[in-house]
Amino acid sequence: MASITANELKTRGISSIQENLMGEPEAIITVRGRQKYVVMDIAHYHYLRECELEAALLEAQADVAKGRVMVESVAAHIARISDGL
């Protein structure tokens, strides 16, 4: 994965990010030698977000299939979650 120093980003700006993302889907920004942030092309971000949502859907479907769900009214739900506050 490509790496960009904070100083390089400060002096070269967005062109530094663009160059580092040419052959890589993501680039790490380092601050004082430590990995601090990740930047990526928006298309790659959307792909990762879609993967995350798909995983959540599969998890919810597995919960339903195994009976790990509750069916209750809105009032009962509010009462149940308010008891824990």
| Domain match, 33 and 13 both | yes
| Domain match, 15 and 32 both | yes
Give the domain range for residue 30.
2-40
| Domain match, 50 and 25 both | no
* pLDDT band at 85; cut points 50, 70, 90: low
Interval 30-70: pLDDT, tens: 999 999 999 999 999 999 999 999 999 999 999 999 999 99
pLDDT of residue 1: 85
pTM: 0.71
Q: What is the DSSP track for 23-50? A: S-SEEEEEETTEEEEEEE-HHHHHHHHH
Query: Quick check: 26 and 1 in contact, CB under 8 A?
Result: yes
Number of structural domains (the chain) is 2
Question: What's the Rg (C-alpha) of the chain?
Answer: 22
Q: How far apart are CA 33 and CA 76, in angstroms?
A: 52
